[in-house]
Each structure stands twice: as C-alpha cells, then as structure tokens.
C-alpha cells in the first residue's frame, strides 16, 4: 500500500537527521554497566533450553500416536490428547512464558510457548514444522488514541509432503489467514522467548534479570528491531535516558517504519528536553497513524461510540479505501449505516463482512446482527 512507502521514506530521512548509532554507542547499550559493576559481556547469560524434550515428553507423544501411520491422523490424535482433560489438559494462559518442558509440566501455554512445545514434538514425529510469525495489525487504545498496543503472534506452520501447508494455533478462532506472516528461524523464536521473559521481569521490578534475558535475546537475534525497543524500555525504566535513546535509535535503524520505535524515541527526547527532535518524530508518528487503516478504524469506532455517526463514516470509508480485506471494517461500516438509517447500504456492508471472515463463530455473530436488522 502507498502509505507504507511514504512512511518508510519519511523515517529514512529521520534516521539520517538523527545520526546513525556508532559502534561505541552500541557497546554502551549492551554493556549493562548501570545494572552490574562488571561488563555484561562477561556475565553468565541465561541458558533456558527452549526446545528440549525429555524422555517423559517423548514417551507421551509415542504412546498417543502408537500404531498410526498417517501423519495427518497423528497430528489430529496428538492435538486431541494435548487438550483432552483426561490427558495433558493444556489450557491457554497469556502469561505462561514457558519452555517446551515447562508447558508439559505446567499444562498451560501462551501462543509462543504452545508453538515452542509443538514444533520439537512434531519434528520428533517426522513432520516438517516451523515457527510462523503472524503480523497482527496494531491496536490503538480507544481511551487514548496516542497509545499503541502491539501484539506479536506465533503459531506452527506444517509443510506436508504433497506441498500443502497447515497452521496449528492454540487459538484458531483469533487467527486470521489474510494477515501477513512468515516463517522465522528457531533462533528468532528463542529470542522472542528471552525477550518476553525480560519484559516479565521488568514488570516484576527485577531490572538485572530483565537486562540479562534481553541481552541473551540480542545475542540470538541482534537484527530484530523490537528487541532494541525492549532494551530501550529497560534503560528508560531505570532513568538511563541517554542509553535508552541509543537503543531506540538502533531499533529505528533496523526498522525505519516502526511506529513503536518512533514513539518511544520521541518520549525519550521530550524527557531529555530535545524538543526539536521530539517534534519531528511526533509529526512522523502522526503521519503514520493518519494513513494506517487500523488507526482510522479506531477513530471510526471512537466516533461511533460517541454517536458521531457522520464523522465515524468518514473515518471508516478512509480505512476501507486503504485496506478493503478486513471484515471488521465492513461490519463497523454496516453498523454506522444502520445508525444513520440507511438499511440498504448497511445490508451490503454486513454481507461483505460475512464474506471476508473465515471464523465460524465470528460469522455467526455477523449473521445474528444481520437477522436483528433485517
């Protein structure tokens, strides 16, 4: 889409304007001297075994799939056993940042830890399984449209011998096929785990552990922008604004279009009193938001909730022009048309939303709304 190209160009200009991160600055950000008296390069970083399976786990898998020759049938039986209350009884828990073995022992997992559990098991079964990263669109807080919420989602991608592919997700109802997605290396998935643990430690006010886990993540995947954003967040939390600035600038170098990096660096500049630089970044962020269909959708929703239906319609029309394949946009458009009394157009919008959604339960909700109106 055009708006992405515009933003990338603008942010590239921002990087050259702010200056590139030097090797000395990177060493400062990675040293951790604010947390430890010695250089962090000499620290013993965490060694959590993310994908390791014990004989007990392997025995469980072999037992439930014994005598089955079809790989597809093995997968179905395995998944039934994983979620069956009489077997593993696995439950979804968004806070369960676990290794594969911990998932088996604790009987709970979030999306990444479920994938971490399934990928090595499927490989043990001879199935070609990989980590699949899904680019979930950004979400803006309705209470504060300057607050951006980013979700990282990972699931299992299986490539069968006949060339077909299958996704395995702990929450298939929330999975959207039309979202951009890509296979990521095991090392990048491991980096996500260590980063998630780091952020968990930061919330628990354990900055040393947070830094150690984040440093481990950066050792595994130093080119991942979001890891530098998280490193900057750790330094900012400790009041180390100069080092936080370095981390956020590095994040922006790696991903010039990253709104979270732009916004994070803007906040640091404001705290440092660098008003000119902060203002420039603020304009970049505003330009990004105002051309992002999901931000326009959030604006439309905010206006709709406030009963400002004409304003809501302007925003949702812009969102659909930017990206017409999102069923939620058409559903909201239908609700706005209904509120304005235009039932014919409301019907067309709801029908389009129904066509686009791939989720049965979501489709049923749309049908219920359709039946209420017509």
Q: How many CB atoms lie within 10 A of CB 174?
A: 14
Output the pLDDT for position 145.
Answer: 56
Band of residue 7 on the pLDDT scale cut at 50, 70, 90: very low
Output the pLDDT for position 34.
Answer: 82
Q: List where CATH 1.25.40.10 sits in the chain.
A: 2-34+210-280, 293-373
Of the chain, the end-to-end C-alpha distance in Å amounts to 35
Residue 1 has pLDDT above 50, yes or no: no
Residue 361: both structure tokens together: 């339960």
Q: Taking Cα atoms as reference points, which of 188, 326, 154, 237 lies closest to residue 349?
A: 326
Q: Which residues pair with 353 in a beta bridge?
A: none
More confident residue, 349 or 136: 349
Residue 106 has pLDDT above 70, yes or no: yes
Residue 3 has pLDDT above 50, yes or no: no
Q: Angle formed by the axes of helices 309-322 and 293-305, to 10°?
A: 160
Collapsing DSSP states into helix, strand and coil, what is residue 131? Answer: strand
Contact assessment for residue 291 and residue 315, using Cβ atoms and an 8 Å cutoff? no
Express each pLDDT in 317-346 by its tens digit: 999 999 999 999 999 999 999 999 999 999
Q: Give me the CATH code for the 293-373 domain, please.
A: 1.25.40.10
CATH class of the region 2-34+210-280:
mainly alpha
| Backbone angles phi and psi of 61, in degrees to 5 | -65, -45
Residue 55 has pLDDT above 70, yes or no: yes
Output the pLDDT for position 19.
Answer: 72
Q: List where CATH 3.10.620.30 sits in the chain.
A: 55-184
Collapsing DSSP states into helix, strand and coil, what is residue 153? Answer: strand
Output the pLDDT for position 5.
Answer: 26
**Which pTM does this prediction carry?**
0.82
Collapsing DSSP states into helix, strand and coil, what is residue 180? Answer: coil
What b/e readout covers 111-150, taking b as 16+ CB neighbours within 10 angstroms?
bbbbbbbbbbbbeebebebbbbbbebbbebeeeeeeebee
Is the domain covering 55-184 a CATH 3.10.620.30 domain? yes
Task: Note the helical H segments in 126-258.
Answer: 186-203, 207-220, 225-237, 241-254
């Amino acid at each position: 889409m055009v708006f992405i190209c515009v933003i990338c160009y603008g942010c590239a200009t921002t990087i050259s304007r702010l200056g590139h991160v030097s090797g000395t600055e990177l060493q400062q950000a990675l040293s951790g001297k604010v947390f430890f008296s010695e250089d962090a390069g000499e620290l013993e970083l965490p060694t959590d075994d993310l994908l390791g399976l014990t004989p007990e786990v392997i025995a469980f898998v072999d037992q439930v799939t014994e005598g089955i020759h079809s790989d597809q049938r093995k997968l179905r039986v395995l998944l039934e056993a994983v979620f069956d209350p009489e077997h593993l009884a696995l439950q979804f828990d968004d806070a369960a940042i676990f290794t594969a073995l911990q998932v088996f022992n604790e009987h709970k997992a979030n999306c990444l830890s479920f994938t971490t559990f399934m990928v090595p098991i499927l490989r043990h079964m001879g199935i070609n399984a990989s980590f699949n990263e899904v680019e979930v669109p950004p979400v803006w807080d309705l209470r504060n449209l300057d607050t951006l919420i980013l979700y990282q989602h990972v699931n299992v991608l299986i490539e069968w011998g006949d060339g077909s592919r299958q996704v395995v997700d702990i929450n298939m109802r929330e999975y959207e096929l039309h979202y951009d997605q890509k296979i990521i290396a095991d090392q990048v998935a491991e980096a996500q785990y260590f980063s998630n643990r780091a952020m968990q430690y930061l919330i628990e006010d354990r900055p040393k552990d947070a830094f150690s886990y984040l440093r481990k993540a950066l050792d595994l995947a130093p080119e991942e922008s979001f890891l530098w954003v998280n490193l900057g967040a750790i330094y900012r939390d400790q009041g180390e604004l100069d080092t936080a600035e370095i981390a956020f600038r590095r994040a922006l170098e790696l991903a010039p279009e990253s709104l979270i990096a732009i916004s994070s660096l803007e906040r640091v500049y404001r705290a440092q009193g660098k008003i000119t630089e902060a203002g420039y970044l603020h304009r970049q962020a505003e330009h990004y938001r105002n051309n992002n269909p999901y931000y326009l959708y959030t604006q439309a929703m905010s206006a709709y909730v406030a009963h400002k239906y004409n304003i809501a319609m302007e925003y949702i029309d812009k969102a659909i022009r930017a990206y017409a394949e999102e069923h939620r946009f058409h559903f909201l458009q239908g609700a706005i048309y209904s509120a304005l009394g235009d039932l014919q157009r409301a019907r067309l919008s709801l029908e389009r939303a129904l066509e686009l959604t791939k989720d049965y339960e979501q489709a049923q909700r749309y049908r219920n709304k359709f039946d209420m109106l017509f």
